[in-house]
Structure 1
Amino acid sequence: MNYSLLAQTEKDSAVSKNSKDVLKSLPAPEVSSKRLNYLKLIRIQNLKDLEDEGDLKVKQKPKLEKNESLLDYYNEYSILVDSLFQLEKENFSQNALKPSTLEIIREYSNLTQLTIIIRYVLNKLDINSTSHEQFIRKKLVHAVAEQMKLIAENNQAWYNYNTVEKQWIKGIQIESSNDLFAIGGIQKNNDVDYTGSLKVSISTDLFKMNGLFPTQSYQNIIYGAEVFTPYFKDFTTDSSFNRNDRPHANFKYLGYEFNGISFNYMRRWSFSTKLGIIGSRFGYNFQYFLHRDISLSPYPYGWDAQIAKEGRLGLQVNGKYERLLLKKQADLKSDVVRLVPSASIELAAGHYMTYVEGGINLSSHNFRHRNQDNILRIGKYFTGYDKIWRAKGYMNLNINPRLVIHNTMLEGFGVFSTNEDDANSFAKPSVYKLNGDQVRDFVLFTNFTAGAQFSKFNVFYKYSIKSPEVNIENAMKIDGVSINDRWHHYATLGLSFIL
């Protein structure tokens, strides 16, 4: 990052008279309470144009009067941008803006306002603009983008509006789940039920767009897989299965995640789509190498009887919405550890699983300071030109009841119901799957997460407890407990590298 561009000071004199004059002609920069809605702006501007032309209908007048202040608000930034271009009119430097221009940009520390400034800078010129005016625009866009990045890094966790100059990679996260990681002696490493997962996420701004409703966001490109097994230690062949237990299953995928937060930091949401293969060889390979080289467990038989053994194309779509329960905690300036309650709802549909899930959450940080990937705001504190980093810890507890509509990992391939027996399909049905009446509709998840973030990396540990998913007559018993009554314990280890 070119900090010198944004942090340089005028050593020769005070702020120039020109910059003072510009700032005096505009309202003092302050925190914006307005949501960016360019579609509404366009509609109101069209009504204003009709009024100026004398074509405004009587029924349209109340709407214009109600929203005319919105036009005035945006017009302030149009005047500001005109003034910035005027200040730079005689500046022919190839790399730097005038110190007075930079001083004006530094007066704005709110991302919403800076986003509006970038919009007007980009819309300022047309095809008849001179090359010098085009160059001024390029320098202004860069300076405002740098200011936005600096403000975002100091005040929130990866969320930012589109800065035009996109950061290709913000971070890389690797996480893996396994009952091998569960601690405390509550449950043995029996390699059963949700037996393991792997997920690699690359966070980026590359696919961020302005659109008509700009949102503070970041995106993830993901690769991963999830593996489920029965209690297999008494299995003897690759094609074996136990009708008193769950089937083998796995889902391997590539995907995209969008993570956004509202302008007032009260709400956040995530959307993900995954495309992959159900019934691939990944489940066997994952368990084989884990047992051979890490857990020293028996050979993993039974994978020839997994769900969709021949391999089926799997598409999964998830959407999650979260809201803070206390408004005063949305925009806390300090990220001192405290209890922050929130609620969530998640909808999921696809060949992996279709469900509706609610949630109650208690976190040590609010949405702005801890994002959906357990990354905290970077928190760079400046003393002159020195950067001071502080290590930070965090914790999170959430309880999520889930209503399951269809679970391919238990019931066989499908979205809302199993379609493996469809006469029009030439796909081979799974060797073994459960009937709908053997699968519970309600499952409860409890997760506790603890982690720490340092200057360039973040590490976390999440302990999870899942209520029984099946209800099988004469069900398999593990350590004397029927799987119908057995709550499954597993844990996730995660490591993130912040770039």
Structure 2
Amino acid sequence: MTFLRYLLLFFMWSLIGENAFSQVDKIPDEVKNAHDKLQEYYEGKRLTSTSLTRNDVTKNTAFLQKYYDSVTEYYRYFKSDKKIIKGVRVYTDNDAFAVFDNRDHEYTGGVRIAFITDYVGLKLISFRRDHKYLSYQSVFFGFDLYTPNVLNVNDIGDLNPIDRPFASFQYIGRTRNIIRYDGRYRSTAEIKIGIIGGEVSRNFQRVIHRDITDSENNNGWNYQIANGGRFALQYMNNHQWENKLGKKELYFHYGFQYGLGWEKNYVSPMLSLTNKCFFERNPDSAINSENHFFGSQKWWDQIKQTAFFAVNVQPEIVFYNTMLQGYPTNNKEFVFDEGNKVEVPVINPINHVVGKFSFSFGFRNYNSNFLFEYFFQTPEYDYAWKKKFFHRYGRISFTLNI
């Protein structure tokens, strides 16, 4: 972890010069002092004269939570009062949002609905001291779908062995988001449990084609990977650090992410340039406002205050991708066609290094947050059907604070 962190930092340092970095704006001294006192209390250390009383602990905890409520959204200080529902986030991905490139192939769409909460911490194993971090959780459900270039497959003989297969993943899950008390480090852990090869993605795409885009119905989902549904478990974890660039309101985020499970196994460095720090914009793209008149001023002034942008680079080193290579317990994929067991083509020679780039912008207006993100992705396998360097798709997201 430490090696990757310094390797990424050195790379960016060499590009823009070591004098470009300065420390993140410091939290107030009274906040740090309150942290120090509670840290001594929770770690069993003695203060200069006497230990904190329970009343002192309650006062310091309330003081810290009040401060963090003013600078960030959702994060809760250790031992503060919990809230069942703090927000709802809905996002949808679709290559229809990619201008001039709506082709229904590769990763073609997905939907997720998440409920943000202070509960379901589920810390079965923890190597961190909770009093040094703020946290919140979310529970969610959603699905992703992947399609080949040729959608109208009426017979298994029509499948192209060098085109990607149909594939889908429908799931429920939970995330835990933490941030260090000084705002310089944050992490997200996510676990998804669901079914690869279910019916939800097929039906969703057919509704879109029939009722929204008025396009040709897609045939071929009977030949998707793990058709009929097979169990899948996927874990994702990322770690990010932050540095402020000089005196400007620009922040450089760097870190890494990895995924393990039935869906995909990979590791990915993460680099980002944005105008919002970790405290101001959390992983659910909820923007905090320090303006006490927020909600009563004109909407345009609010947007100017809370508008954000981000440019991200996140290449993946992929070890196994079920959405291309078939269900991991099988070497091949099969379906029964008129009583005969027939092999479904899957992609085995995948590209193990995939470039991923994105830029995003958004804003908060009163209690709602809007995000649009545009993704570019290099091929996950060698296209044989045309010359194409980037696959593109977009994401639209709304987060409602409650």
Q: TM-score range by the shorter chain?
A: 0.7 to 0.9
Residue 432 of structure 1 pairs with residue 344 of structure 2: yes
Q: Work out whether residues 40 and 46 of structure 2, in 8 Å CA contact, stay in contact via their aligned partners in 1.
A: no
Q: Which residue of 1 aligns with 2:135?
A: 217
Q: In 1, Cα distance between the equivalents of 2:257 and 2:53?
A: 40
The aligned amino acid for 2:315 is P
Q: In 1, Cα distance between the equivalents of 2:52 and 2:207?
A: 59
Q: Which residue of 2 aligns with 1:191?
A: 104
Matched position secondary structure for 1:71: coil
Residue 312 of structure 1 pairs with residue 230 of structure 2: yes
Residue 81 of structure 1 pairs with residue 59 of structure 2: no
Q: Residue by residue, what CA displacement relative to the aligned partner does 1:297-347 show, whole Å, maximum 9, x if unpaired?
A: 211101011000131100000000001134988xxxxxxx83211112001
Q: Which runs of 5+ in 2 are unaligned?
A: 1-27, 333-339
Q: In 2, Cα distance between the equivalents of 1:493 and 1:382?
A: 28
Structure-2 change in CA distance of 1:388 and 1:238 (3 Å): farther
Q: In 2, Cα distance between the equivalents of 1:443 and 1:37?
A: 47
Q: Which residue of 1 aligns with 2:255?
A: 344
Residue 153 (structure 1) aligned to one of 53, 69, 76: 69
Structure-2 change in CA distance of 1:197 and 1:317 (3 Å): same
Residue 373 (structure 1) aligned to one of 284, 291, 310: 284
Q: Residue by residue, what CA displacement relative to the aligned partner does 1:78-136 show, whole Å, maximum 9, x if unpaired?
A: 28639x9xxxxxxxxxxxxxxxxxxxx5xxxxxxxx33xxxxxxxxxxxxxxxxxxxxx
Q: In 1, Cα distance between the equivalents of 2:97 and 2:314?
A: 21
Matched position secondary structure for 1:287: helix
Q: In 1, Cα distance between the equivalents of 2:201 and 2:269?
A: 29
Residue 393 (structure 2) aligned to one of 490, 493, 497: 490
Q: In 2, Cα distance between the equivalents of 1:193 and 1:37?
A: 53
- Percent identity (aligned): 25
Residue 31 of structure 1 pairs with residue 31 of structure 2: yes
Q: In 2, Cα distance between the equivalents of 1:179 and 1:377?
A: 30
> What displacement does 1:432 show?
2.3
Q: What is the root-mean-square deviation of aligned Cα atoms in Å?
A: 3.2
Q: Residue by residue, what CA displacement relative to the aligned partner does 1:411-452 show, whole Å, maximum 9, x if unpaired?
A: 0112xxxx2149xxxxx999424353x210000100111101
Q: Which residue of 2 aligns with 1:357?
A: 268
Structure 1 or 2, whichever has the larger Rg, is 1
More strand by share: 2
> What displacement does 1:167 show?
1.0
The aligned amino acid for 2:108 is T
Q: Which residue of 2 aligns with 1:258?
A: 176
Q: Work out whether residues 378 and 455 of structure 1, in 8 Å CA contact, stay in contact via their aligned partners in 2.
A: no
Q: Work out whether residues 31 and 64 of structure 2, in 8 Å CA contact, stay in contact via their aligned partners in 1.
A: no
Q: Which residue of 1 aligns with 2:97?
A: 181
Q: Work out whether residues 207 and 219 of structure 1, in 8 Å CA contact, stay in contact via their aligned partners in 2.
A: yes
Structure-2 change in CA distance of 1:403 and 1:429 (3 Å): farther
Matched position secondary structure for 1:420: coil
Residue 246 of structure 1 pairs with residue 149 of structure 2: no
Matched position secondary structure for 1:32: helix
Matched position secondary structure for 1:250: strand
Matched position secondary structure for 1:381: coil
Q: Residue by residue, what CA displacement relative to the aligned partner does 1:342-378 show, whole Å, maximum 9, x if unpaired?
A: 1120011011111000011001101111101111114
Matched position secondary structure for 1:289: helix
Bigger RCO (CA 8 Å, 6+ sep): 2
Matched position secondary structure for 2:276: coil
Q: Which runs of 5+ in 1 are unaligned?
A: 1-27, 46-69, 85-104, 106-113, 116-143, 330-336, 423-427
Number of equivalences: 358
Q: In 1, Cα distance between the equivalents of 2:76 and 2:221?
A: 45
> What displacement does 1:259 show?
0.6
Q: Work out whether residues 196 and 231 of structure 2, in 8 Å CA contact, stay in contact via their aligned partners in 1.
A: yes
Structure-2 change in CA distance of 1:364 and 1:327 (3 Å): closer
Q: In 2, Cα distance between the equivalents of 1:181 and 1:37?
A: 50
Residue 395 of structure 1 pairs with residue 338 of structure 2: no
Q: Which residue of 1 aligns with 2:11?
A: none
Q: Which residue of 2 aligns with 1:321?
A: 239
> What displacement does 1:176 show?
0.4
Q: Work out whether residues 177 and 189 of structure 2, in 8 Å CA contact, stay in contact via their aligned partners in 1.
A: yes
Structure-2 change in CA distance of 1:236 and 1:406 (3 Å): same
The aligned amino acid for 2:169 is F
Q: Which residue of 1 aligns with 2:379?
A: 468
Structure-2 change in CA distance of 1:387 and 1:206 (3 Å): farther
Q: In 2, Cα distance between the equivalents of 1:74 and 1:274?
A: 49
